Amino acid sequence: MKIKNEMRLDFPAAGKNESFARLVISAFVLPLNPTLEELADVKTAVSEAVTNAIVHGYADAPGTVRLHAVLYEDDTLKVDVIDNGRGIEDIALARTPFFTTCGEDERSGMGFTVMESFMDEVSVQSKPGRGTTVTLVKRLRACETESARRA
Amino acid sequence: MLSYEKYKGKLTVRLKGELDHASIAPIRAELDQLLNDPKVKHLVLDMEGVSFMDSSAIGLVIGRYKALARRGGSVSVTRTAPRVDRIFEMAGLYQIVEKRA
Q: In chain A, how many domains are there?
A: 1
Rounded mean pLDDT, B39-55: 97
Determine, for residues A110 and B18 on separate chains, whether the beta-carbon distance falls below 8 Å.
no
Which pLDDT belongs to residue B1? Answer: 76
Q: What is the pLDDT of residue A105?
A: 65
Question: Which of A74-78, A142-146, B40-44, B50-54 is predicted with the least confidence, judged by mean pLDDT?
Answer: A142-146
Is B52's Cβ below 8 Å from some Cβ in A?
A: yes
The verdict on B90 touching A (C-beta cutoff 8 Å) is: yes
Does A43 contact B20 at a Cβ distance shorter than 8 Å? no
For residue A119, give how far its alpha carbon lies from the nearest alpha carbon of chain B (Å): 14
- What's the whole-number mean pLDDT along residues B12-24? 97
Confidence of residue A150 (pLDDT cuts 50, 70, 90): low
Task: Please give the model's pTM, rounded to 2 decimal places.
Answer: 0.92
Q: Which CATH architecture has domain B3-100?
A: 2-Layer Sandwich (3.30)
What residue spans define the domains of chain B? 3-100
- Candidates A14, A19, A106; nearest CB to B59: A106
Range of the domain at A84: 3-150
* Model ipTM over 0.90: yes
Chain A contact probe: residue of B18, B19, B55, B85 with most A CBs at under 10 A: B55
Strands (E), chain A: 3-12, 64-72, 76-83, 121-127, 131-139
Beta bridge partners of B53: B19
State the Cα–Cα distance between residues B35 and B69, nearest whole angstrom: 12
Does B21 contact chain A (CB < 8 Å)? yes
The CATH number assigned to the domain holding A34 equals 3.30.565.10
Cβ neighbours of A51 in B, within 8 Å: 20-21, 54, 56
pLDDT score at A143? 52
Mean pLDDT of A77-105: 88
Give residue-wise pLDDT tens across range A45-83: 999 999 999 999 999 899 999 999 999 999 999 999 999
Question: What are the strands, taking DSSP E only, across B1-101?
Answer: 3-7, 10-19, 42-53, 74-78, 98-100
